[in-house]
C-alpha cells in the first residue's frame, strides 16, 4: 500500500456550525472546544457553533476556529487507527498540521494563530491591500507580470500557487489591480478579486512576521513526530528550529501548494485525507493528480465513509 498524507484547510473554509455534530454527545471533543475558549479567554466555541458568519470570518476568529475544528475532526478520526506518513496544511492549516505532528500543543496552536490573525490584520490598514486569483496562466508568465508592476513602484507578488492554472496574487490594491489587468492582456483566462481583509503572503506582511516571531519564542515548539511539508519550501521539515523559521517566512512568502502535493506524490503518497471543514484542498490535489485517492472528512458520515474506503483499499 502507498503512503498516506493528512492535509488541513486554510482560511476561507469556515462555516457556522462546523464541528458541532462531533462535539454533541462526545465529551472529549467538546473538551477541545472548551480548552480553546479557555486559552483565548472568550467563547470561540459559541461563535463556531452559532455564528454569526460575519464574526466567524474575521481573520482573528477564523484562524483559531479552523484549527480547533480540524483538530476535533482529527480526534474523531483517531479511532480508525490510521497514521499519516506526512502532514501538510494550506497557510493557516500548516499550524494544524504541526499540532497533528506533535510539534505544537493544541492550546499553543490556538493561541499562536489567534495572535497571527491579529498581526496580519494590523500589518496593513484595512482596504489598502488585497488579493486576486488568476486563472489559466503559468507561474513564470505571471511572475514576470508581477515583477514588472513592482518595478513600476506598486507592490504585488505571487501568494498562493495552488494548482496548475490557479495562482493567487497579493499586494497593494493598486498593485493587484494593475497586475490583474496586465495578466488578462497577456492571456490569463480570468482574474477574480478575493474577499480578504489584507495582502496575505506578500512582503507587506513583514511587520506581522516580526511580531509573530516573538509569540513563537513564547510557546514550546518541539520536533515533529511526522514530517511536515512546509508551505515555503515544499519540502519536509521536522526540527523545531526549522519549523519556527518557516512559520515566520510563511507570512510573507508564497504558499507552494502545487509543489507540496507534487513532493508528497514523489515521496510515495497515493492517499490524501483532508481533515476539517470543506473540500478545497481535495479539489486542488485532483487538479495536480487525477489518480490520487482523496477523502475529505468533516463529520461522522464522511469519517465513516473514509474509514470504509481505506479498509477496502488495503484489502
Per residue in 116-168, pLDDT tens?
A: 999 999 999 988 999 999 999 999 999 999 999 999 999 999 999 999 999 99
The pLDDT, as a whole number, for residue 127 is 86
Superfamily of domain 129-196, CATH level 4: Malonyl-CoA ACP transacylase, ACP-binding (3.30.70.250)
Report the pLDDT value the prediction gives residue 226, as an integer from 0 to 100. Answer: 98
Read off φ and ψ for residue 152, nearest 5 degrees: -80, 0
> pLDDT band at 25, cuts 50/70/90?
confident
**pTM of the model as a whole:** 0.97
Cα–Cα distances in Å, from 252 out to 156, 157, 203, 213? 11, 10, 5, 13
| The pLDDT value given to residue 99 | 98
187 cis-preceded (ω within 30 degrees of 0): no
Domain definitions of the chain by residue range: 3-123+204-314, 129-196
The answer to whether the CB of 142 falls within 8 A of the CB of 183 is yes
Give the residue-averaged pLDDT of 60-75. Answer: 98
Per the annotation, the verdict on 201 as an active-site residue is yes
At the topology level of CATH, where does 3-123+204-314 sit? Malonyl-Coenzyme A Acyl Carrier Protein; domain 2 (3.40.366)
Nearest 5°: phi and psi at 162? Answer: -80, -45
* Percent of the residues in the chain that have a pLDDT greater than 70, as a whole number: 99
Catalytic residue of the set 45, 91, 170, 253: 91
Q: What is residue 163's predicted lDDT score, i.e. its pLDDT?
A: 97
Q: Which of 185, 119, 121 is nearest to 149 (CA)?
A: 185
13 is catalytic: no
Q: What is the pLDDT of residues 79-127, one digit of tens each?
A: 899 999 999 999 999 999 999 999 999 999 999 999 999 999 999 998 8
Using the predicted structure, report yes or no on whether residue 294 has a pLDDT greater than 60: yes
pLDDT at 31 over 90: yes
Beta strands in 64-189 (DSSP E): 86-89, 129-135, 156-163, 166-172
Catalytic residue among 13, 90, 155, 201: 201
- What gap in Å lies between CA 211 and CA 263, rounded to an integer? 31
Strands 156-163 and 86-89 turn out to be: unpaired
Maximum distance among all Cα pairs of the chain, rounded to whole angstroms: 59
- Look at the block and give the residue holding cell 488495503: 314
Amino acid at each position: 500500500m502507498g503512503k498516506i498524507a493528512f492535509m488541513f484547510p486554510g482560511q476561507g473554509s469556515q462555516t457556522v456550525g462546523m464541528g458541532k455534530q462531533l462535539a454533541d454527545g462526545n465529551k472529549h471533543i467538546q473538551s477541545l472546544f472548551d480548552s480553546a475558549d479557555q486559552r483565548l479567554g472568550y467563547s470561540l466555541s459559541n461563535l463556531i457553533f452559532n455564528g454569526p458568519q460575519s464574526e466567524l470570518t474575521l481573520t482573528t476568529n477564523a484562524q483559531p476556529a479552523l484549527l480547533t475544528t480540524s483538530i476535533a475532526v482529527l480526534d474523531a478520526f483517531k479511532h480508525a487507527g490510521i497514521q499519516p506518513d506526512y502532514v501538510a496544511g494550506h497557510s493557516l492549516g500548516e499550524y494544524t498540521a504541526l499540532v497533528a505532528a506533535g510539534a505544537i500543543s493544541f492550546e499553543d496552536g490556538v493561541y499562536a494563530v489567534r495572535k497571527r490573525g491579529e498581526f496580519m490584520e494590523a500589518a496593513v490598514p484595512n482596504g489598502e491591500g488585497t488579493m486576486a486569483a488568476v486563472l489559466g496562466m503559468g507561474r513564470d508568465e505571471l511572475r514576470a507580470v508581477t515583477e514588472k508592476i513592482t518595478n513600476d513602484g506598486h507592490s504585488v507578488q505571487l501568494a498562493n500557487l495552488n494548482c496548475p492554472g490557479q495562482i493567487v496574487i497579493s499586494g497593494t490594491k493598486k498593485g493587484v489591480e494593475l497586475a490583474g489587468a496586465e495578466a488578462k492582456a497577456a492571456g490569463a483566462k480570468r482574474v477574480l478579486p478575493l474577499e480578504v481583509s489584507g495582502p496575505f503572503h506578500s512582503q507587506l506582511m513583514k511587520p506581522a512576521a516580526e511580531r509573530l516571531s516573538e509569540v513563537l519564542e513564547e510557546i514550546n515548539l518541539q520536533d515533529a513526530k511526522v514530517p511536515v511539508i512546509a508551505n515555503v519550501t515544499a519540502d519536509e521539515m521536522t526540527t523545531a528550529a526549522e519549523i519556527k523559521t518557516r512559520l515566520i517566512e510563511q507570512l510573507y512568502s508564497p504558499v507552494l501548494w502545487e509543489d507540496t502535493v507534487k513532493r508528497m506524490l514523489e515521496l510515495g503518497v497515493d492517499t490524501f485525507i483532508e481533515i476539517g471543514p470543506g473540500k478545497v484542498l481535495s479539489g486542488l490535489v485532483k487538479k495536480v493528480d487525477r489518480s490520487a485517492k482523496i477523502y475529505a472528512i468533516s463529520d461522522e458520515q464522511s469519517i465513516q465513509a473514509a474509514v470504509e474506503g481505506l479498509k477496502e483499499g488495503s484489502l
